[in-house]
Amino acid sequence: MEQETIITILDECESTNSAIPADAPHGHTVMARRQSAGRGQRGASWEAEPGRNVTMSVLLRPVGIDVTAQFSISMAAALAVAITLDDYQIQGAKVKWPNDIYVGDRKICGILIENSLAGRAVSRSIVGIGLNVNQTEFRSPAPNPVSMAQIAGREFPVERIALGIRSRLMELLHDPGLPAAYRARLWRGSGIWPWITADGHRFSGAIGSVLPSGHIVIAGRTFAFKEVWPADICDPSRHD
């Protein structure tokens, strides 16, 4: 194990979210070169070739974030990754609601956020980030993965990218311009697109807004996470 000023780098752990100490301070960050049980949304696994990708978690102890506004943490995390991709000339990174990062119609990053509450406030948040960096072959059944190396045709400094994401996240956490910046980055944020709901209903419509609660408004209808998907590329029976 190596220790840096603001990030702990582990050779291996089950999951970086689980490797965060309970008493860790705000901003404490753990990165693993290999995760044996990396987690995605709703218990899905996360494929990452050892040493080739960013698999990291950041512990946040935010001040003044009400339970009704906890989606701001998700927005900050997603934008931190998207802006970092800009820094490395990966063009066209967008936020697929609620917090996946897509380039074109392919997923380059997944984010898992675990919040703890104290009364009406978020007392502790662990932001887990899996970014495909130098991996060029994917063997899991995930339908549309892509990496920075596949897009650019070259390799990138994994640990430096992790530090950049962490820095951006800390800057964005309480940025008053966060909602507008998030809306501007939305994947398929303009135009009419096909959608499918959890009960199999298909419809077409434009994204109107994303509410502070994290709910998305499409064609005048409001949906929570896992209640609606892009009908042309996503399978509602999957948890990715």
- Residues β-bridged to residue 9: 2, 31
Of 109, 193, 123, 120, nearest to 151 by C-alpha is 109
Phi, psi values for residue 172, rounded to 5°: -85, -15
> Within 10 Å of residue 29's Cβ, how many Cβ atoms?
24
CA–CA distances in Å: residue 113 to residues 91, 102, 117 = 25, 18, 13
Of the chain, the percentage scoring pLDDT greater than 90 comes to 84
Length of the chain, in residues: 240
Distance CA 48, CA 215 (A): 29
Domain segments of the chain: what residues?
2-185, 193-230
pLDDT, tens digit, for every residue of 175-227? 999 999 999 999 999 999 999 999 999 999 999 999 999 999 999 999 999 99
Confidence of residue 42 (pLDDT cuts 50, 70, 90): very low
Q: Supply the pLDDT for residue 48.
A: 80
What tens digit of pLDDT does each residue of 74-130 get? 999 999 999 999 999 999 999 999 999 999 999 999 999 999 999 999 999 999 999
Q: What global pTM score does this model have?
A: 0.91
Q: Show the beta-strand stretches assigned E in the chain.
A: 2-3, 8-10, 29-32, 54-60, 93-96, 100-103, 106-118, 121-131, 193-197, 202-205, 207-210, 216-218, 221-223, 228-230
Mean pLDDT of all residues in 157-181: 97
> Which CATH fold topology does 2-185 show?
BirA Bifunctional Protein; domain 2 (3.30.930)
Largest CA distance in the chain: 51
